Amino acid sequence: MHISSDASTIMERSRGVFFAQWKELLRLVHTVVKTSDPDEIHDLRVATRRFRAVLELFDPVTTKDASTELKKNIRKLTRVLGGLRNIDEALIFFQSRLTDVFSEYKLFQGLSELRSRELKRIERALMAFDHHKSDRMVREMVAGLHDDCADMRENFSLPAYFSDTSIRLFIPIQQLLAVSRVPEHREPRHALRIAIKKWRYVLETVAPVLGCDYTAQLGLLKEYQSILGRMNDIAEFEVLLKKLKLPQSERVQTETLLQKEDAGLLAEFTELIEQKPISYTFLTYEAT
């Protein structure tokens, strides 16, 4: 794929992408503070991850101290939002598979109690998040993105840097695919899911900056991320079950459901690897 654009245009697009990601995160913070809507909370978690990926990608051309502080603060939000997402997904999963009356299960009572505690944690974290200070820092970082950034080395090229980053992020995917098909290899599958997500976020960020069309590649990565994400959910559900005091019969029933689901997902994952292997998408650049 050949990209034809000048440095000024690329930097202008970079500023636009950078700030757009931040504005979406900030919008969701305000919305969640007002409504505590579950869907908005989950969208906010995704937005924090996307913005962290943008911070990481543009690290060579942004203020280091500001970038470090923002990464730390946004990472805290990501972590505190994760617990609620896992509980909600567990509720959806078990409600769809346990056919008896929900109120008869200690599981749902326990998950509901955990959910209430997680909502309170999220509320405290959002109230403590200094979005005014963060907004000033982001605006200063965006304003500092220009053609002759002070931190740029001579002959530094953003397109070349993007390409190098893309290659670096693909390498662990290639390495992990071979071992992640083994049933017992949960950790490699978890690492693969994270590696795919990181590469996907970079491609999604780079695409509008360089004018690339990664529709097909991103669609495939989403397929992989979806299956691997559902497999990771099973592991998270197992952790949640350990926190609950359940009758033995209920514990056996829920654990059996998880084992069956995990086996089915592994079969889907193996089939996906065989039918739709991931190949590398190269980034090349033509200066004008």
Whether the pLDDT of residue 261 is over 50: the answer is yes
State the average pLDDT over residues 157-175.
Answer: 92
Residue among 91, 55, 47, 96 nearest 72 (CA):
55
Identify which has the larger pLDDT, 155 or 10: 10
State the average pLDDT over residues 234-243.
Answer: 95
State the average pLDDT over residues 248-274.
Answer: 95
Q: What's the pLDDT score for residue 45? A: 95
Give the strand pairing for 284-287 and 2-5: parallel
Q: What's the pLDDT score for residue 154? A: 55
Whether the pLDDT of residue 78 is over 50: the answer is yes
Whether the pLDDT of residue 30 is over 50: the answer is yes
Between CA 54 and CA 50 the distance in angstroms is 6
State the average pLDDT over residues 73-100.
Answer: 91
Q: What percent of the chain has pLDDT over 90?
A: 74
Whether the pLDDT of residue 286 is over 50: the answer is no
For residue 128, what is the enclosing H or E element? Answer: helix 106-128
Q: How many CB atoms lie within 10 A of CB 155?
A: 6
Please, are residues 54 and 17 in contact by the beta-carbon 8 Å criterion? Answer: yes
Least confident of 46-60, 69-83, 87-101, 195-209: 87-101
Identify which has the larger pLDDT, 8 or 26: 26
Show the 3-state SS of 201-262.
Answer: HHHHHHHHHHCCCCHHHHHHHHHHHHHHHHHHHHHHHHHHHHHCCCCHHHHHHHHHHHHHHH
As a whole number, the mean pLDDT across the chain is 89
State the average pLDDT over residues 109-130.
Answer: 93
- Domains observed in the chain: 2-277 (1.40.20.10)
Whether the pLDDT of residue 153 is over 70: the answer is no
Q: What is the pTM (predicted TM-score) of this model?
A: 0.89
Whether the pLDDT of residue 271 is over 80: the answer is yes
